[in-house]
Amino acid sequence: PQCGQEVSPDGMDINEWKEVVGPVCAPEATIIITEIVDKDVDSYTNVPRYVELYAPRRRHRGMAFDHDLKLVIFHSDSEEPHWPSAVSIDYMPESGFLVVCNKAAYESYRSECAEVSYDIAGPANSNGNDQIALISGDESGWFVVDIY
Please check the confidence at residue 21 and state whether its pLDDT lies above 90: no
- The helix (run of H) or strand (run of E) holding residue 103 is helix 103-109
Contacts of 134 by beta carbon, 8 Å cutoff, 6+ apart: 31, 32, 33, 53, 69, 70, 71, 72, 89, 144, 145, 146, 147
Range 71-100 average pLDDT: 94
Q: How is 29-93 classified by DSSP, letter by letter? A: S--EEEEEEES-TT-SSS--EEEEEE--SGGGSSEEEEEEEEEEEE-TT-SS--GGG-EEEEEE-
For the chain, what is the mean pLDDT? Answer: 83
Q: Which long-range contacts (CB under 8 A, 24 or more apart) does 79-85 make?
A: 81/133, 81/135, 81/142, 82/121, 82/122, 83/138, 83/139, 84/119, 84/121, 85/117, 85/119, 85/121, 85/122, 85/123
Looking at per-residue pLDDT, the higher value among 41 and 126 belongs to: 126
Global pTM reads: 0.79
Size of the chain, expressed as the number of residues it contains: 148
30 confidence band (pLDDT: 50, 70, 90): confident
Q: Please report, rounded to a whole number, the percentage of residues in the chain having pLDDT higher than 90.
A: 49
More confident residue, 1 or 24: 24
Instruction: Provide the pLDDT for residue 63.
Output: 87
